[in-house]
Amino acid sequence: MKETILHQIGEIVRSTLQWIPLNVVRFLFLGLITVVLILVLRLPIAETTPDKPGKSRWDENLKLWAALALVLQLLIYWFL
Amino acid sequence: MSLVATDIGGTDIIGVGGAAYKHGLAVANFEWIGCVPAMIIGAFFFVPFLYRTGIYTIPEYLERRYNVTVRTIMATCWLIFMACNLGIMLLASAKMMQSLFGWEMWFSIILMATLVGFYTSFGGLAAVVYTDVLQCVILIGGCLLLVFCGLYELGGIENLKSRLQARQMQQSALNSNASTQTPSNPAIFPSTKEIKSLPSSPPTPDSHLHLILPVDTPTPFPWPGILFGLALILSPAYWIGNQAIIQRSLGSKSEFEAKASYVWGALLKNIIPIVIAVPGLIALALYPDIGDGDLAIPTLVTRILPSGIRGIFFAAFLAAMMSSVDSYLNSASTIVSYDFLKRFSKTAISETRILTLGRLTTMACMTWGVIFAFLLTTLKEGSGIYAIFQTLMAFFQGPALAILLTGMMWRRANGQAAVIALILGISTSVTLYALNQPMIYSSLGWKPLFQIQEPFLYFSIWAFLVTLSTLFTLSLIFPADDPTKTDLVIWNKNPPTKPAFIQQNQNSQDTEK
Most confident of A17-21, B13-17, B141-145: A17-21
Min Cα–Cα distance to chain B from A31, Å: 11
Residue-averaged pLDDT of chain B: 81
Question: Rounded to whole angstroms, how far apart are CA atoms B222 and B218?
Answer: 8
Confidence band, pLDDT 50/70/90 cuts, at residue B190: very low
Which residues, listed in sequence order, are joined to residue B446 by a DSSP beta bridge?
A2
Which of A9, A37, A76, A78 should be substituted to probe chain B, the one whose Cβ sees the most B Cβ atoms within 10 Å?
Answer: A76
On chain B, the residues whose CB falls within 8 A of the CB of A10 are 449-450
- CB distance B223–A80 less than 8 Å? no
Q: What pLDDT sits at residue B462?
A: 94
Interface A:B, Cβ pairs < 8 A:
108
pLDDT at B431 > cutoff 70: yes
- List of residues 6+ apart from B203 with CB closer than 8 A: B168, B171, B172, B217, B218
Sign of the CA dihedral with B335 first, then B336, B340, and B346 last: negative
Min Cα–Cα distance to chain B from A27, Å: 11
Question: Rounded to whole angstroms, how far apart are CA atoms B227 and B308?
Answer: 42
pLDDT > 90: percent of chain A: 61
The per-residue pLDDT for range A15-46, each reduced to its tens digit, is: 999 999 999 999 999 999 999 999 999 999 88
What pTM does this model have? 0.84
Query: In this structure, what is the dihedral angle of CA atoms B349, B351, B352, B354, given to the nearest 10 degrees?
Result: 70
Does B1 touch chain A if contact means CB atoms closer than 8 Å?
no
pLDDT at B381 > cutoff 70: no
- CB distance B210–A80 less than 8 Å? yes
Min Cα–Cα distance to chain A from B336, Å: 34
pLDDT at B73 > cutoff 50: yes
Does B43 touch chain A if contact means CB atoms closer than 8 Å?
yes
- CB distance B212–A2 less than 8 Å? no
Most confident of A49-53, B4-8, B25-29, B97-101: B25-29
Contact B271, A68 (CB under 8 A): no
Torsion angles phi and psi, residue B156, rounded to 5 = 115, 170
Work out the average pLDDT over B305-324.
78
pLDDT at A57 > cutoff 90: no
pLDDT at B197 > cutoff 50: no
- CB distance A25–B223 less than 8 Å? yes
- CB distance A80–B25 less than 8 Å? yes
Work out the average pLDDT over B440-462.
87
For residue B290, give the 3-state DSSP assignment.
coil
Could you tell me which chain A residue has the CA closest to the CA of B435?
A6
Instruction: Between B78 and B196, name the one with better pLDDT.
Output: B78
Question: Rounded to whole angstroms, how far apart are CA atoms A69 and B33?
Answer: 11
Min Cα–Cα distance to chain B from A54, Å: 15
Question: Rounded to whole angstroms, how far apart are CA atoms B200 and B280?
Answer: 24
pLDDT at B1 > cutoff 70: no
Residue B39: Cβ within 10 Å count? 31
